[in-house]
Every structure is written in structure tokens, then in C-alpha cells.
Chains A and B, each alone.
Chain A
Amino acid sequence: MDENILITMRDISKSFPGVKALDHAQFTLRKGEIHALMGENGAGKSTLIKVLTGVYSLDAGEIHVAGVDGPVINHSTLEAQEKGIATVYQEVNLCPNLTVAENLFIGREPKTPIGTIDWRTMNKKAKEIVDGLELKIDVTIALENYSLAIQQMIAIARAVDMDCKVLILDEPTSSLDDNEVEKLFKVMRDLKAKGVGIIFVTHFLEQVYEVCDTITVLRNGEFAGEYSVEEMPRVKLVAAMLGKDFDDLASIKKEGASHVSDDVVVDATNLSHKGTIKPFDFQIKKGEVVGVTGLLGSGRSEMVRCIYGADKAQTGELKVNGKKLNIKEPLDAIKAGMGYLPDDRKADGCIGDLSVRENIILALQAKNGMFKKIPASKQNEIADKFIDMLQIKTASRETPINQLSGGNQQKVILARWLCTHPDFLILDEPTRGIDIGTKTEFQKLALKFAEEDGMSIVFISSEIEEMLRTCTRMYVMRDGAQVGEISGEMTQESVMAAIAGGGE
């Protein structure tokens, strides 16, 4: 094996019941390299990493690790760690109630001669590690006192201090802000200089170009190619991930508001919910796509939840198609022709153990009422129709939804609402955490529904570009209140200025 190579994975295959997650996948990691592992949701990134770290067993293929003769099969993450492979997951897997030092040394605490824990040495060593990362924190207080970013850093520091040769970062940046990401990148570059090989899994293209050297792309579980970052323009990378000539994002462009009629579908005045959203007005016309923008926690979701009745409105008046309506619970909203795709897919969307079919027909069943059960044949028909229409990747309609990848789960929830034929559909962060291909699909779908079916759609997203592409008008939120409305010629700058406010 080449001196420089830390890990080679050859022809790795792994199947789950009904799905081939990996099919002859290849991966090579060299010393002092930051290697991005990219692909759409369900392309097999996580599976590849889990095979490498021993979470899953592999069906076929070989893994070679530098310093170990012969093929390696890890049976547990502990075994992988002993071979110098450390992993930091998206969700921090430390103990928030223990101190920073304890977290750093858990399981390998320095001992005094009589076998008790040598706290002084431990805290001293912990301080050295933390200083090395230029973090100004107290190692003797509980981890939960620090931000997620610092916790993430501690997780990395712990991995690094265990003398790892290979560090796997599985979407570490999805919960970090820009400053924190910068700090993380600095640590990554330092490690790279020390010769550690880093596998970096992320959805953010910008970050790949900022920090990575090499990119391996997986597509449908297969190896699509290994590229060096310099030789790979963005468009080509996206094309490689999608496996087709990339339909330029710019081609999704609203064609004026010609299909928007003058009928007001939803008209809210002075709605509010104590503690979450101050009184606001809202109006949407038939066939219109309206955005709600603002920083995270500015009241975007809270506003639409109040309209939908997920949080019952305590003041104000709501008219749907001109008729006054008192929404006490979501079912009332559904009956009035509303649908709400929530931003927290896991907590508010998916019914985990139930099948794709059951998840799809759930809202329609609720709309029809408990005593009008949808016949089994009809359920199958509906499920098959939407699996086909939205191209949901699932082994069958009876597969539990929690076995699907994030983007496909989101499509199932979308199908749940589409089959109720809503007049007014709220999409709250429909594209968060899903790959770029599916993102584009969602944007196109939203526009298509508005245009062809005359659906009124609220589109909420943290990505301003996405909203510029889909919305004709935006409500601006700040600190739990509606602060304005923008329309006409909108640009990224004008929207950001509106969000930031200033001058007031």
C-alpha cells in the first residue's frame, strides 16, 4: 500500500431489506487530506461511514487501514477507534451534565497511585487541549453551559486527543453559525497540517470549496468519481451528484404573476398567540406563492402555525374564501382546505414506525373522519400515485417511513398534504437538510402547484435565494413580530436589509 494512503475501501456493497445502499463503492483517504464525501440524500454517504466505523457490517468488499495488515472489518466503533478512526456525528454525543474535562477524558481518566481519579492532572491536561484550540472556556464546569458549536469542538478535541489518524466529521456544521464554522475550519486545517486525514460529510457546497482538497461523489450507492477541488467547478459537481446535466437553478423563474387571480383565499387580521407571535395581518390570493422571511426564531414558523391552528389564535379574525372561520385545532384548518408541512420533520411530521402508505393517507383520513375509513384498495392507489409522482425512493409502500432518507421522508409528508387537495398549503422549510437535487424539485413543485392547480402557497426558507426564485411577495419577521412586507423587484440585498431592519 502506498505510504501516503490511510484508508482504502474497495468495492463495498451493503444491502438493507429491499434497498441496495452501497453498490461497489470506492473510497481512498490520504494523509493530510480533507476529503469531502458528497451525494444526494440516500446516496449512501452515511452508510459508507457506518460501514467504515463498524456500526454496520458489510456484505462485500475490502477495507484496508494503514498500519494494519490484511483486510479490516470493524465490529464496533470502539474497534474502529482503536485503529485510529474517530467520528464526530451531527448530533453531539457527549454527556452535557458532565464537565468539559470529564467529557474529554471519559473512559481514560488519569489515575492516582491508589486508583482514584487524578482530578488535578485531568483538569490541567484538559486546559492544555482547550487552549490549543484557542477556546476560552472553563473546563471544570458542565458542558451544557456552552454553545452547540463549542460542544462540537470538544467532541472533535476528544477525538483528536485520542491520537486518531482519521477523523470523520458527519455534517458537523449544520447547527453552527458562520463564526463557529470558521473556528471549526481552523481546527481542521491545523489537523491537516499534522497529517491527519479528515472525511468531511456536508450538504453545503461553499464549505467544500473553502476547506476541502478532494471530493468523492456517491450516487445511488455507487462510486461516481473522485475529483480534486480545483478541477471541479460547482456546476460540474452538482451534475456529478445528480448524474445528469444539471438543470440550471436559474431556469426556475417565476413567469410573472399572470396566473394569480384576485380571489383572496386566506385573509387574517390581527391574529396572535401569546408568547410566540404578536398580532399580524396576512393575505394570500389564489395561485400566489408568498414567502415569510426573517432570521431563525424571528416568528416565521410561529406566524403560520397560528394561521393553521397548530397554535390556537387568541386574538383577531380569520377569513377563508371570504367566510369567517374559528380554527380551534388543526383539523378545522384541514377541513377549510389548508395544509401545513412543518419545519421539524421528525417531531411534527413523520409517524416513525408507520408505513409510507399510512403516513400519506393520514391527513386525508382525518379530513374524512374516523368512521369513513378509506378502503385498503383506495389507500394503495393513493400511495402508489404519489410515490410515482414525487419519485419517492422506497422499497415499497409498506416500508416504515423512518427507513427512508430525509428528502424522501419530506416527500411523503408533502404527499400527505397533496392528497387532501388543499387550496392553501404552507411549506415551512421544506428543503432543510435535503440535497440540492431534491431542493430544486421542491421549488419547482411549489411553482407548479400554484400555476397549474391554483393552489396558494406559503414558502418559508432560510435560504433567501430559494425564496427569491419562488415567491412574488414576502412578509418580513423580526423578534416575534411582523415588521413589513416586500414585493416587486427583490434581490438578496434588499431582502437582507429588510430582515436586518436598521434605521428604526
Chain B
Amino acid sequence: MMENFKKLAKKPLFLPIFCMILVLLINVIKSPDFFAIKINNGVLFGRIIDILNRGSEIAILAVGQTLVVAVSAGTDISVGSVMSLSACGCCMLLAGYGNNSVSTLAVPMVVGMLFGVFMGGLSGAMNGALVAKLKIQPMVATLILFTAGRAIGLLLCNNQITYIRYEPYKYLGNFLPGCPIPTPVFVAIIVIAVVSILLKKTALGLYIQSVGINSRAARISGINSEVICFICYVICGICAGIAGIVASSRIYSADSNNIGLTFELDAILAVALGGNSLGGGKFNLAGSIIGAYTIQAITTTLLAMGVSTDKAPVFKAIIVIIIVVVQAPAFKAYMAARRAQKASVKEAA
């Protein structure tokens, strides 16, 4: 039994899953109706549904962020701003420049959304070019769009919040008519599936890890390190673009100052919680996604317990510290040494 547990504990996904379960357990103890799911007006309601729904944007961001961390040993801190930028781009096109509230669209909805995602990809390409080609440190390179992204969005929307009061625009961030499951869950599943298939069916995963661990050796072995690095940033930008559209659809508007605010931190945290080294190299996508939902679970839990929005970060920080410390190699080694010492004491006795 103990043996089996130890074997289980060695699996790479053990800790992220363990943390997730821990958070859920606390919830169940605190409020037994945590897992209860009700149907109201033909759609599902409940805390679990809420976590899956709200966590989707972080999960989508975490997918891109994982690749960026793996390939460049750095983080893309612009994703939150890029979300806002893509939302503004989309809404500006849909509403027509200068209009702040419309109920009929200027261009077909799909065109607007694709434009938003394209803006995300473009931002990613800019970050990627700075990091891969000009060898600027990832944090500095992405700091540019971190600061400028929201401002550009605001310019696109003529300094106002642009509302799209057009019913189908709300589908993506809320519910499809007749479907009880929130749409963002499907969006997240699609993004995760596409990237997973890309990693599984092509050698991109091997390339990313090789470049992340030793880009010089990867180049000598015939891998174009710069191109691989660039691709990762573009994928990250596209993910941020998609997350931005979802966030905008939720509130059927482009609120430049608030969409995706501090989401970059949640995305980076999701990667770390997933057991991925922020030093690059080997990565585990599934871990990051579990990490993303864990973060959302923590946030939702705190809000449900009546911790006010301004105080929630304190508790969040405490929980994150615990999770990160438990996963740290130094801590693991310390615990292993203690166990060994105890075992030898027992033997002696």
C-alpha cells in the first residue's frame, strides 16, 4: 500500500493533481453542497461549473505560456494586455470605429473575432521576434506590450468602452442556446486539444524541449532554434487573443482597462503549479492546465467563503506559497532525508 503510494508520488502529475484535490477537499468540508449542480433556466449552475467556466481563460493562457517558458526559460508577461488588445480590436471592427454601443454589427461576427485572434498572433510575433531574433530577455521584450497593449486597445476603441449589444456575441463567453454547459469550457477544450495534437503528431514538442535545454546543441543538430522560439511566442499570442475574445464576450464589450487584468500572473503561476520548471526545458502541458483550474478553484473558494475581493489575494498568496514549497526540489530532498533518518533510527532500535 505504502509502496504503491510512493510509486504514485513519483509520477510527474502527482503534485498538481494532489494540490487540486486538496483545494476541492477543503471546499467540500466547508460547504457540503460544493459539488451540487442545479439546472436553472436550462443551464447548469454550481461551484464546480463556475470554476470550469471562469478558469477557461487562465487555462487557455497557460497552454501558450507553458510553451514560452519551456523554449526560452522566460515568461510572456504581456498576455493579459494582449487579451485586452484583441478584445478591443474585435469590438472596434464589429461596432465600427468610434461607436460605443451598437446592436447591429458593421462586419460579420466571425471576421471581428478572427481579427481579434489575429491581433493576438501579431503581438506574439512581435514578442517572438524580439526574443528569438534580437535575443532580448523575455521579460523585457514582453514588458513593451505589457505596458502598451491596453493603451493601444483604448486608442482602437476611441477611449471608451465599446458595447456590442448583439445577442450571438454573448454566446462565446456565456451559453449557446439550448446547451447547458458554458461555452468557454468548450473553447478551452478545443485550444488544449489542438495544441496537444500539434505536440503529439509533430516533433514540435521535442524541438521545444531541445531548444529550451540547450539551444546551441539543438542548432548543431539541425533545429532552427530561432524559428522554434518564434513559433512558441506566436502560439502564446494566439492563445491570449482567444482568451481575450472569450473575456470580451462574457461582458459583451471591450473594457480595455479591466479585461485580462493580472491574468499574466495567473498564467505564469499555473505553469509553475503544474510542476514545470520556470528555467525552461522539459514541460508538461497537462500539469499547467490542472494548475490553471487550481488557481481558479482557490479564487472561487475564497469568494464563496465570503473573503472580500480586496483581501482574497492575501489568502491566495498563502496557499500558493504552500503549494510551491511542497513542490520545490530542495523541500522534497529535505523530506526524503528526514524519512531516511527516521527509518535508520527505527532500524537501530
A: which residues have CB within 8 A of B? 310, 329-331, 334, 340, 342, 347-354, 358, 362-363, 365-367, 370-374, 416
**B222 in contact (CB, < 8 A):** yes
14 contacts between A and B (CB under 8 A): A330-B219, A331-B223, A334-B222, A342-B220, A347-B214, A350-B214, A351-B214, A353-B209, A353-B213, A354-B210, A362-B210, A365-B206, A370-B207, A416-B221
> Contacts A347-B214, A354-B210; is A310 near B220 (CB within 8 Å)?
yes
**Are B201 and A373 closer than 8 Å at their CB atoms?**
yes
**B345 in contact (CB, < 8 A):** no
Using CB atoms, name the residue of chain A closest to B200: A373
**B224 in contact (CB, < 8 A):** yes
**Are A370 and B203 closer than 8 Å at their CB atoms?**
yes
Give the one of B201, B204, B217, B219 with max A CB within 10 A: B217
The one of A351, A367, A374 in contact with B213, judged by C-beta atoms closer than 8 angstroms, is: A351
Residues of chain A within 8 A of B216, CB atoms compared: 347-348
Residues of chain A within 8 A of B224, CB atoms compared: 329, 331
**Are B203 and A373 closer than 8 Å at their CB atoms?**
yes
Which chain B residues in 183-220 approach chain A with CB under 8 Å?
A: 201-204, 206-207, 209-210, 213-214, 216-220
**Are B222 and A370 closer than 8 Å at their CB atoms?**
no
Using CB atoms, name the residue of chain A closest to B222: A366
Residues of chain A within 8 A of B214, CB atoms compared: 347, 350-352
Residues of chain B within 8 A of A310, CB atoms compared: 219-220
Residues of chain B within 8 A of A349, CB atoms compared: 217, 220
**Are B209 and A362 closer than 8 Å at their CB atoms?**
no
Residues of chain A within 8 A of B217, CB atoms compared: 342, 347-351
Q: How far apart are B133's CB and chain A's nearest CB, in angstroms?
A: 14
Q: Interface range on chain B: under 10, 10 to 19, 20 to 34, or 35 or more?
A: 20 to 34
**B170 in contact (CB, < 8 A):** no
B: which residues have CB within 8 A of A? 201-204, 206-207, 209-210, 213-214, 216-224, 281-282
Q: How far apart are A480's CB and chain B's nearest CB, in angstroms?
A: 21
What is the CA–CA distance of A88 and B223 in the complex, to the nearest angstrom?
A: 38
Residues of chain A within 8 A of B282, CB atoms compared: 353-354
Residues of chain B within 8 A of A353, CB atoms compared: 209, 213, 281-282
What is the CA–CA distance of A53 and B154 in the complex, to the nearest angstrom?
A: 63
Residues of chain B within 8 A of A367, CB atoms compared: 222
**Are A348 and B207 closer than 8 Å at their CB atoms?**
no
A330-B220, A349-B220, A370-B203 known; 15 new pairs, CB 8 Å cut-off, are A330-B222, A331-B222, A342-B220, A352-B281, A353-B213, A353-B281, A354-B209, A358-B206, A365-B206, A366-B222, A366-B223, A370-B207, A371-B203, A373-B202, A416-B221
Residues of chain B within 8 A of A354, CB atoms compared: 206, 209-210, 213, 282
What is the CA–CA distance of A353 and B224 in the complex, to the nearest angstrom?
A: 19
Q: How far apart are B286's CB and chain A's nearest CB, in angstroms?
A: 18
> Contacts A353-B282, A367-B222, A373-B201; is A362 near B206 (CB within 8 Å)?
yes
Using CB atoms, name the residue of chain A closest to B214: A351
**Are B203 and A348 closer than 8 Å at their CB atoms?**
no
Residues of chain B within 8 A of A365, CB atoms compared: 203, 206
What is the CA–CA distance of A352 and B216 in the complex, to the nearest angstrom?
A: 12
Give the one of B206, B210, B281 with max A CB within 10 A: B206
What is the CA–CA distance of A294 and B24 in the complex, to the nearest angstrom?
A: 67
Q: How far apart are A98's CB and chain B's nearest CB, in angstroms?
A: 26
Q: How far apart are B147's CB and chain A's nearest CB, in angstroms?
A: 34
Using CB atoms, name the residue of chain B closest to A310: B220
Q: How far apart are A270's CB and chain B's nearest CB, in angstroms?
A: 24
> Contacts A371-B202, A373-B201; is A352 near B213 (CB within 8 Å)?
yes
Nearest first, the 9 closest Cβ-Cβ pairs linking A and B are: A366-B222, A331-B222, A334-B222, A363-B221, A362-B221, A373-B203, A351-B210, A365-B203, A351-B213
**Are A340 and B220 closer than 8 Å at their CB atoms?**
yes
**Are B213 and A330 closer than 8 Å at their CB atoms?**
no
Residues of chain A within 8 A of B213, CB atoms compared: 351-354
Q: How far apart are A300's CB and chain B's nearest CB, in angstroms?
A: 16
The one of B204, B218, B221 in contact with A370, judged by C-beta atoms closer than 8 angstroms, is: B204
**Are B201 and A348 closer than 8 Å at their CB atoms?**
no
Give the one of A331, A352, A362, A416 with max B CB within 10 A: A362
Residues of chain B within 8 A of A348, CB atoms compared: 216-217, 220
**Are A363 and B222 closer than 8 Å at their CB atoms?**
yes
Q: How far apart are B4's CB and chain A's nearest CB, in angstroms?
A: 18
Q: How far apart are A60's CB and chain B's nearest CB, in angstroms?
A: 13
Using CB atoms, name the residue of chain A closest to B231: A370
Q: How far apart are B275's CB and chain A's nearest CB, in angstroms?
A: 14
Give the one of B202, B217, B218, B222 with max A CB within 10 A: B222
Q: How far apart are B80's CB and chain A's nearest CB, in angstroms?
A: 30
Residues of chain A within 8 A of B206, CB atoms compared: 354, 358, 362, 365
Residues of chain A within 8 A of B223, CB atoms compared: 331, 362, 366
What is the CA–CA distance of A231 and B223 in the complex, to the nearest angstrom?
A: 53
What is the CA–CA distance of A21 and B79 in the complex, to the nearest angstrom?
A: 47
What is the CA–CA distance of A171 and B207 in the complex, to the nearest angstrom?
A: 35
Q: How far apart are A79's CB and chain B's nearest CB, in angstroms?
A: 15
Q: How far apart are A420's CB and chain B's nearest CB, in angstroms?
A: 9
What is the CA–CA distance of A331 and B228 in the complex, to the nearest angstrom?
A: 14
Residues of chain B within 8 A of A371, CB atoms compared: 202-203
Give the one of B201, B204, B223, B282 with max A CB within 10 A: B223
Q: How far apart are B246's CB and chain A's nearest CB, in angstroms?
A: 29
What is the CA–CA distance of A100 and B224 in the complex, to the nearest angstrom?
A: 44
Using CB atoms, name the residue of chain B closest to A417: B221
Q: How far apart are A93's CB and chain B's nearest CB, in angstroms?
A: 20
Residues of chain A within 8 A of B281, CB atoms compared: 352-353
Residues of chain A within 8 A of B203, CB atoms compared: 365, 370-374
Q: How far apart are A477's CB and chain B's nearest CB, in angstroms?
A: 21
Residues of chain A within 8 A of B218, CB atoms compared: 351, 362
Q: How far apart are A336's CB and chain B's nearest CB, in angstroms?
A: 11
Residues of chain A within 8 A of B204, CB atoms compared: 370
**Are A366 and B202 closer than 8 Å at their CB atoms?**
no
What is the CA–CA distance of A78 and B217 in the complex, to the nearest angstrom?
A: 36
Q: How far apart are A45's CB and chain B's nearest CB, in angstroms?
A: 25
